[in-house]
Amino acid sequence: MNEQRTDPPLHAMPSARSILSWPAYRAGETPATELPMSRAEMAGLGWDACDIIIVTGDAYVDHPSFGMAVIGRVLESQGFRVGIISQPDWQSAEAFRTLGKPNLFFGVTAGNMDSMVNRYTSERRIRSDDAYTPDGVAGKRPDRAVTVYAQRCREAFKGVPVIIGSIEASLRRIAHYDYWSDTVRRSVLPDAKADLLVFGNAERQILEIAHRLAGGESIKEMTGIRGTALMRSQMPAGFTEIDSTELDTPGRLIEHPDPYAIRNSATQDCAEPDQEPPSRPPSRRLDKGRTVIRLPSFEEVKADPVLYAHASRLMHLETNPGNARALVQRHGARDVWLNPPAVPLTTPEMDFVFGRTYSRVPHSSYGKARIPAYEMIRFSVNIMRGCFGGCTFCSITEHEGRIIQSRSEDSIVHEIEQIRDKTPGFTGTISDLGGPTANMYRLACKSTEIEAACRRPSCVYPDVCSNLNTDHTPLIQLYRRVRQIKGVKKTLIASGLRFDLAVKSPEYIEELVTHHVGGYLKIAPEHTEEGPLSRMMKPGVGSFERFRELFEHYSKKAGKKQYLIPYFIAAHPGTTDEDMLNLALWLKANGFRPDQVQAFLPSPMATASAMYHSGRNPLRKIHSESEAVFTPRPKKQRDLHKAFLRYHDKANGPILREALKRMGRSELIGVGEACLVPPAPAGTPDRRKKVKAPRKGAE
């Protein structure tokens, strides 16, 4: 396909071919009740071969919350014959030959979760179960599943293109810090020996790849598809290469103009539309479509944590589809080339994706086996994608992007009617109506020009951007319409709620509290102290207090007793022992006794993971003397931080008493109202879990 390239106008989101515009590859195909997982099922459909085979680390559940089902059904809608190989035995290539040789390509996914996060806790302990496996059985997928599966596909049928995707591939698309081996690892692309890596939500990319392969093109010709990464041996003709250190100098602090600075102008909180730094002559304005930024090589970022933080900062600043440029990073003798992110789906495209003929149940071959992840979401509805929160510990933005992609009311109502009519066990309650964030439905920048030019990592930190539309009216209208659906008795909101946005719309909070809270509402302030909150890019506790006031006010008005369940993170970069003590005192003063607590887990490519590894803050300009970020890394200190969250647990008494004495806060040990923990029982020595004094900067 050699199409005439036309550059988009300045300050506009790039145009993209609609996923609805492709002509069917094979017309007249009847959708399968479920995508085949065996030769017998293929024969029943009259197939002698699959066009595309998806290999997944999850059990196959034909539901729009499962990635393999979404991609499979979207491809099927275009006339492609798609088979599924679910949780194959990876010890040899034999299981990867189950469905025969695919006509076009293998698509490889680790599943809905990163395989390492799925298998290991934040303390690197092996989990005893796997929610995405029949009956929750653990050990049905390998560590680093994308790499292993892709290599086995290569062995099974040499010469068949292999395309890797899923959140595991997205978060490993460049050199990344790997918490489980405590080192910087290469991009997953060369390790998997795949032809292409698809990052982000993949519908737009995968349809183009499938149709072009079906049209006779070679996978080697597909070098410019947005949202993909590939290996290259040399720079292609016509591109201008910029060294990343020209944009953000990772060395001695020199006052260079910052091209990512937020300037005082008509754009207010957002960066000016793509404007070259003043230090460059006007003639240096470059065509974004023919510009590539060279990041420090894998070998360099592995050897130098400062360069790693620099590369992380630059990568995150080049994630807006409206202004992102291609990135390239040397790995040995070849380059990993990242094209700019894919253009977000429009509402009609989102409706198309969620409107496919999903059976909404696990594959029949699993019989009566229980799949915990399916049980959790079978009565839930995803109304949108993306998140503009930019929380540094979260991977949603790196994978789905920060531009919200919303479905229409009609599409959402149709899915709820499908649940009512087809999903076994439905009793009238929709368990969730949300997405990555419950209350970002149809929220967007007021200006498409500013949206396309902005490089801010968050639209809500340090405060809600004045250019952001925070009107919750469309969401309120959706809630009201859903409540009118015959057969739906209750609709709950279980997705994470952005309370700093919610307080902008008291009407929304009243609607939520009056009709959509089942007694308890989970909410995530994450911390109370400025140090960790600033490294998380989360709002101050004042926003939470305001939300709580409104929550309690409207609960009382509705005549309901309802409660907030706050979530907090222990041991996040930037958190000192004193921060955790202050949080514990706040919890006690407010009557909160957290049951389950979460310790920070550095996921690949997250900004907070770069802080954890490098000790630098990539939210600011990186150089050798830039802001140091203290991180509680030793296990004993991580245990102490978790213990502060569960100050009320008697088992944590010894470790907390020891820490309070060391911190000079012995007055908090006792039975008074102002005390945090009781004294050791009389006559029994405290079994102290000795906590080493923290490194300098811990307090």
pLDDT in tens, 228-247: 999 999 999 999 999 998 88
Distance of alpha carbon 196 from alpha carbon 230, whole angstroms? 5
User: Is 320 a residue whose pLDDT tops 50?
Assistant: yes
244 with 311: CB under 8 angstroms?
Answer: yes
Give the number of other Cβ atoms within 10 Å of residue 696's Cβ: 8
User: How many structural domains comprise the chain?
Assistant: 1
The reported pLDDT for the residue numbered 595 is 86
> Taking the C-alpha atoms of 214, 217, 219 and 220 in order, what is their torsion angle to the nearest 10 degrees?
180
The reported pLDDT for the residue numbered 204 is 98
Strands 162-165 and 176-178: unpaired
User: Is 255 a residue whose pLDDT tops 70?
Assistant: no
Q: Is the residue at 459 inside a domain?
A: no
Burial class (CB in 10 A: 0-12, 13-18, 19+), 685: exposed
pLDDT grade for 256, boundaries at 50, 70 and 90: very low
* In 355-403, alpha helices (H): 372-377, 396-400
H and E: helices and strands count for the chain: 24, 21
> Taking the C-alpha atoms of 499, 505, 510 and 515 in order, what is their torsion angle to the nearest 10 degrees?
-70
Better-predicted residue by pLDDT, 624 or 266: 624
CA angle 271, 273, 278 (to 5 degrees): 80
Average pLDDT over residues 285-292: 82
Task: Give 87-140 pLDDT, tens digit per residue.
Answer: 999 999 999 999 999 999 999 999 999 999 999 999 999 999 999 999 999 999
pLDDT grade for 1, boundaries at 50, 70 and 90: very low
Q: Is the residue at 466 inside a domain?
A: no
Task: Give 582-626 pLDDT, tens digit per residue.
Answer: 999 999 999 999 988 889 999 999 999 999 999 999 998 887 777
Closest CA to 80 of 206, 204, 193: 206
Q: Is the residue at 297 inside a domain?
A: yes
Q: Is the residue at 303 inside a domain?
A: yes
The reported pLDDT for the residue numbered 265 is 36
Average pLDDT, the chain: 91
Comparing 52-66, 110-124, 262-276, 591-605, the range with the smallest average pLDDT is 262-276
**What percentage of the chain reaches a pLDDT higher than 70?**
91
Q: Is the residue at 26 inside a domain?
A: no
The reported pLDDT for the residue numbered 285 is 64
Q: Is the residue at 133 inside a domain?
A: no
Average pLDDT over residues 383-389: 96
**What percentage of the chain reaches a pLDDT higher than 90?**
86
Q: Is the residue at 262 inside a domain?
A: yes
pLDDT grade for 287, boundaries at 50, 70 and 90: confident
Average pLDDT over residues 541-560: 97
Average pLDDT over residues 347-361: 97
Rounded to the nearest 5°, which phi and psi values hold at 26? -135, 105
- Whether the full predicted model's pTM is greater than 0.85, yes or no, is yes
Task: Give 392-412 pLDDT, tens digit per residue.
Answer: 999 888 899 999 999 999 999
Average pLDDT over residues 315-338: 96
The reported pLDDT for the residue numbered 397 is 86
Q: Could you please report the per-residue DSSP string of 42-70?
A: HHHTT-SS-SEEEEESS--B-STTSHHHH
Task: Give 460-491 pLDDT, tens digit per residue.
Answer: 999 999 999 999 999 999 999 999 999 999 99
User: Is 157 a residue whose pLDDT tops 90?
Assistant: yes
Q: Is the residue at 325 inside a domain?
A: yes
The reported pLDDT for the residue numbered 268 is 41
Residue 244 domain boundaries? 234-332
SS3 609: helix
User: Is 186 a residue whose pLDDT tops 60?
Assistant: yes
